[in-house]
Amino acid sequence: MFKTLAISALLFIVSAASWARPYDDVIDSGFITIFVYSDYAPYSWEEDGAYRGIDVEVAEYIAEYLGVELSLLMRGADENIDDDLRINIWKGDLIHRKAADVMLHVPVDKEVDARNDLAVINNAYFQEEMAVVVDRDRIEDLETFGYFTSEKVGAELDTASDFFLSNAFRGLLHPNIRRANTFADTVELYASGEVAAVMASRAQAEYIASVVQDRRSYIAQPPMPGIVRKDWRVGIAVKHDSRDLAYAVGDALNELIVSGKLSEIAAEYGVTYIEPER
Amino acid sequence: MKQNFAWMAFAGTLALAGAGTATAADVTIDDLMNDQATTDNVLTYGLGPRAQRFSPLDTLNRDNVKNLFPVWSFSFGGEKQRGQESQPLIHDGVMYVTGSYSRMWAIDIATGDELWQYDARLPEGILPCCDVINRGAAILGDKVFFGTLDAKIVALDKKTGKVIWRKTIGDYKAGYSYTAAPLIVPTEAHGPIIVTGNSGGEFGIVGAVEARNPDTGDLVWSRPTIEGHMGTLNGEESTMTGTRNETWAGDMWQNGGGATWLGGTYDPDVNLLFFGTGNPAPWNSYLRPGDNKWTASRIAINPENGEIEWGYQTTPHDGWDYDGVNEFIAFDMEKNGETIKAGATADRNGFFYVLDRTNGDFISGSPFVQNISWAKGIDENGRPIWDPANRPGNPAESADGKKGEAIFAVPSFLGGKNWMPMAYSNKTDLFYIPSNEWGMDIWNEPVTYKKGAAYLGAGFTIKPIFDDYIGSLKAMNPVTGKVKWEYRNKAPLWGGVLSTAGGLVFTGTPEGYLKAFDDETGEELWKFQTGTGIVSSPITWEQGGEQYVAIVTGWGGAVPLWGGEVAKVVSYLNQGGSVWVFKVPEQLASR
């Protein structure tokens, strides 16, 4: 009787584990918790009660490759990547203290890596760029951001695009910037015709072009004076003591890229896959 | 004079209680308005609607405070500790106290026994910006009310702790939360209303003050704090706050910040609500030209219709995160033989302001912390005289990949004074301000990412100004703007203050002590180690002819989250979660 109790208590602890764990613990438990951002089409979002997106499919593939169940942790972005790494990888949130084993869509940037010594960032699987989706009937050829002194441009509030546009030409574009609280609402700004263009990541811009179908959309990348990063690589993060898990996930990602499957997944969402330097 | 006023108010309460239909155990709106004068209860956050945090009790005084001993201590239990910033309420022999993670307890004061506990079930996906604290409850009729971290307001049956109604203040998924104590005030048009502010993350939110019917939770009026937004009254649009785009560029007013996360105060004399408003968004001031009203301001609202009667901006075009939500305390100021209907507020930005509370006119602005660097002073119109050298630089102007030059701004963004409420003594006519002497290095950060894309942010670190102390409890004369005395504390002060007619000033320290000081000299007269840091506000009341003092304990709040170099001073402090009650034991009372 006592023994049974002890074992079931142990099982409970293991199944309730909600912190980032090394490889053996993940495999033994039979499940892996993977973090993806919410409201982040085409990478990850919730629609009609189902999870959708490129990163969601990547997470499913990783779990399948490791032979474990997938437990998806979808949460919003905090103020910056350092906060996201703390909340989702090495410490957990304040209320439920829940963290993931692996976080997707982490910029592979040596400064970010150096600042966050409790997380390990590697395994670039995606190449990201800044871009603009433009309605050709309103702007024939977006050679410069100067067009937005006379046409309206949208951006998701408080993102890199918002900061770039707000700062551009010493604030000259201010009257024509329309900001939306969520990415979904940013798509709506474009779909409703309120703006002639939206600045976002290239994948997001391509996604907008693919879902707003009654428009002659094109993707432009005019010069972006003062932009912080025109392009960067996207990878994964694990907790500092779980490097072995990152190796195993790296094998899964490699397979996904080399087989051409990731390119197919991206295409489903209207996104051109560019293989990052690895 | 003051004694007479107190007695009249008390007599008024008795007459009402005799004539009204409410049972003895129910709390009336008049009880709330007379809270400061009635000493056998604490019915409001701040010991009265003005939140002066002054008790007319003098049973406990400078001579016998040395005999103050604990009666009981009550643990909040479980693993849910973290910061406890709550002020208890006392009514009819029962204490109502809230704790971290949106919990509330009713405790029998005679025995310290728990009567009930309410534990809000918090959804996954809440990401509170700062800590999982709560600052206290409100009480009226047969209900107690408090706000929860998922941005709801809950009304509980005060006898049983069962939920009567529960309403949403904001969408927690969009970053809204709630931690302040609600405020209940009378109106002619709607009867009593329960008034709340809002709190949330740093982006995308718009500050608001909302009034509800305490019986049903239905919205009566709402007032956004940012110019350009429409208010509502009785379910319909009322008026716009200010003029759209007058102090904001483009569509930035739509997400301007200005959260009212600390709640407000009320002055029955001029019938106005006073709310402080938070910093503007985004943080980088170069992205939002203009004064950005009404962020970092105090606004006075008519409780009948939610109209803004006046506003006063302490930090126009804020660039330092001087999140000016600080409480505005109404008081009558004797100056040059005149009585001025004044109000005072000790701002995050390090200045202590005295305003005319009837119209918001500026009277004076005096530094209450040392070495303020962001402004050289406050001009005759009440506007800061900025020091351009000490405004954080525009990140866009630094070269890519290079860490920009740091500027040192005082105070730090945690403020000359943060959330912790000051007290105004009706005995000494001094304000007792819990302040901190610290500054911050701010530099343009090479690169950071948000939601997957790169931008230039700002890096900052908080630094003490003096080697031996950060915390500083100051006695401020509102007439002269001069500090009469100061008590220095090694760790930053993060708890509220209480003053009494017995000549005592109480406050707690992160080191774990509840302390009592002489209100005239600042001499430390008594202290008690509670075993964990104190970041809450003390109260006092009378029961069975004895004067009680209570304090909630439990280290946490924003300091350990943002510590910087300050972390060294606080890293050894242990968490906790309990409430302590003190009185002078009978055998010592006569001495």
Region B446-452 average pLDDT: 78
Region A38-67 average pLDDT: 96
Q: Are residues A30 and A112 in the same domain?
A: yes
Calpha distance B281→B142 (Å, rounded): 40
Label residue B400 by pLDDT band (50, 70, 90): low
The residue type of B453 is A
Label residue B591 by pLDDT band (50, 70, 90): low
Q: Which residues of chain B make contact with A158, given a CB cutoff of 8 A?
A: 202-204, 255, 281-282, 450
Mean pLDDT of chain B, nearest integer: 91
pLDDT in tens, B491-500: 999 999 999 9
CB–CB contact B284 A163 (8 Å): yes
Label residue A167 by pLDDT band (50, 70, 90): confident
Say if A148 falls within a structural domain: yes
pLDDT in tens, A91-123: 888 888 889 999 999 999 988 898 899 999 999
DSSP code for A86? I
CB–CB contact B124 A96 (8 Å): yes
CB–CB contact B450 A80 (8 Å): yes
Label residue A87 by pLDDT band (50, 70, 90): very high
Q: Of A93, A174, A177, which is closest to B127 when you measure between CB atoms?
A: A93
Q: Are residues A141 and A187 in the same domain?
A: yes
Calpha distance B67→B60 (Å, rounded): 9
Note the pLDDT of residue B172: 86
Please give the residue that has the higher pLDDT: either B461 or B425: B425
The residues of B that are catalytic are 321
Say if A11 falls within a structural domain: no
Note the pLDDT of residue A227: 84
Q: Which residue of A has its CA nearest to B283?
A: A158
pLDDT in tens, B216-269: 999 999 999 999 999 999 999 999 999 999 999 999 898 889 999 999 999 999
Residue A15: how many CA atoms within 13 Å on its side-chain side? 7
Q: Which residues of chain B make contact with A130, given a CB cutoff of 8 A?
A: 453
φ, ψ (nearest 5 deg) of residue A81:
-60, -30
The residue type of A107 is P
Q: Which residues of chain B make contact with A43, given a CB cutoff of 8 A?
A: 452
Which helix (H) or strand (E) segment holds residue A23: the answer is helix A23-29
Residue B458: pLDDT over 80: no
Q: Of A95, A161, A164, which is closest to B132 when you measure between CB atoms?
A: A95
ipTM of the predicted structure?
0.80
Q: Which residues of chain B make contact with A131, given a CB cutoff of 8 A?
A: none
Q: Are residues A122 and A21 in the same domain?
A: yes
Residue B97: pLDDT over 70: yes
Domain that holds residue A54: 17-127+232-268
Q: Which residue of B has its CA nearest to A77?
A: B451
Instruction: Give percent of chain A above pLDDT 90.
Output: 77
DSSP code for A87? I
Q: Of A109, A160, A176, which is closest to B450 when you measure between CB atoms?
A: A160
Say if A2 falls within a structural domain: no
Q: How far is A3 from chain B (nearest CA, A)?
A: 27
CB–CB contact B454 A229 (8 Å): yes
A168 in Cβ contact with A226 (< 8 Å): yes
Residue B562: pLDDT over 90: no
Residue B18: pLDDT over 70: no
Calpha distance A8→A176 (Å, rounded): 61
Of B130-134, B146-150, B264-268, B326-330, the least confident: B130-134
Region A2-12 average pLDDT: 36
The residue type of B125 is G
Crossing angle for the helix pair A243-258 and A261-268, to the nearest 10 degrees: 80
Say if A141 falls within a structural domain: yes
Note the pLDDT of residue A96: 82
Q: Which residues of chain B make contact with A79, given a CB cutoff of 8 A?
A: 201-203, 450
Region A260-274 average pLDDT: 97
Note the pLDDT of residue B54: 98
Calpha distance A278→B244 (Å, rounded): 50
Note the pLDDT of residue B218: 95
Q: Is B336 exposed, middle or buried (0-12, 13-18, 19+ CB in 10 A)?
A: exposed
CB–CB contact B453 A175 (8 Å): no
Q: Are residues A30 and A102 in the same domain?
A: yes
Q: Of B126, B201, B453, which is closest to A159 when you measure between CB atoms?
A: B453
Note the pLDDT of residue B44: 98
Label residue A2 by pLDDT band (50, 70, 90): very low
Q: Are residues A25 and A113 in the same domain?
A: yes
Q: Are residues A91 and A160 in the same domain?
A: no
Instruction: Give percent of chain B above pLDDT 90.
Output: 75
Q: Are residues A117 and A244 in the same domain?
A: yes
Calpha distance B537→B434 (Å, rounded): 11
Residue A155: pLDDT over 60: yes
Say if A198 falls within a structural domain: yes
* Domains of chain B as residue ranges with CATH: 2-589 (2.140.10.10)
φ, ψ (nearest 5 deg) of residue B48:
130, 155
Say if A277 falls within a structural domain: no
Of A78-92, B470-484, B520-534, the least confident: A78-92
**CATH code (residue A188):** 3.40.190.10
CB–CB contact B249 A80 (8 Å): no
Q: Which residue of B has its CA nearest to A202?
A: B453
Q: How far is A85 from chain B (nearest CA, A)?
A: 11
How many distinct structural domains can be found in chain A? 2
Region A44-62 average pLDDT: 96
Residue B160: pLDDT over 90: yes
Of A79-83, A190-194, B481-485, the least confident: A79-83
Nearest to A232 by CA among A135, A115, A113: A113
Alpha helices in A52-159 (DSSP H): 54-66, 81-85, 110-115
Q: Are residues A110 and A170 in the same domain?
A: no
Mean pLDDT of chain A, nearest integer: 90
Q: Are residues A137 and A173 in the same domain?
A: yes
Of A64-73, B412-421, B452-461, the least confident: B452-461
Say if A9 falls within a structural domain: no
Q: Are residues A68 and A117 in the same domain?
A: yes
pLDDT in tens, B265-297: 999 999 999 999 999 988 888 888 999 999 999
Q: Are residues A158 and A80 in the same domain?
A: no
Say if A73 falls within a structural domain: yes
CB–CB contact B454 A96 (8 Å): no
pLDDT in tens, B162-184: 999 999 988 888 788 999 999 99
Q: Of B127, B394, B396, which is closest to A76 when you measure between CB atoms?
A: B127
Q: Which residues of chain A make contact with B452, given a CB cutoff of 8 A?
A: 37, 40, 43, 77, 105, 107, 128, 201, 234
Note the pLDDT of residue B203: 62
Note the pLDDT of residue B590: 63
Q: Of A109, A179, A201, which is closest to B447 when you measure between CB atoms?
A: A109
Q: Which residues of chain B make contact with A94, given a CB cutoff of 8 A?
A: 82, 127-128, 131-132
What three-state secondary structure class fits A218?
strand
Q: Are residues A54 and A137 in the same domain?
A: no
Residue B214: pLDDT over 90: yes
Among A39, A81, A108, A199, pick the best mutation site for testing chain B contact (most B Cβ within 10 A). A81
Alpha helices in A119-171 (DSSP H): 160-167
Region B309-335 average pLDDT: 96
Please give the residue that has the higher pLDDT: either B316 or A10: B316
Residue A234: pLDDT over 60: yes
Label residue B4 by pLDDT band (50, 70, 90): very low
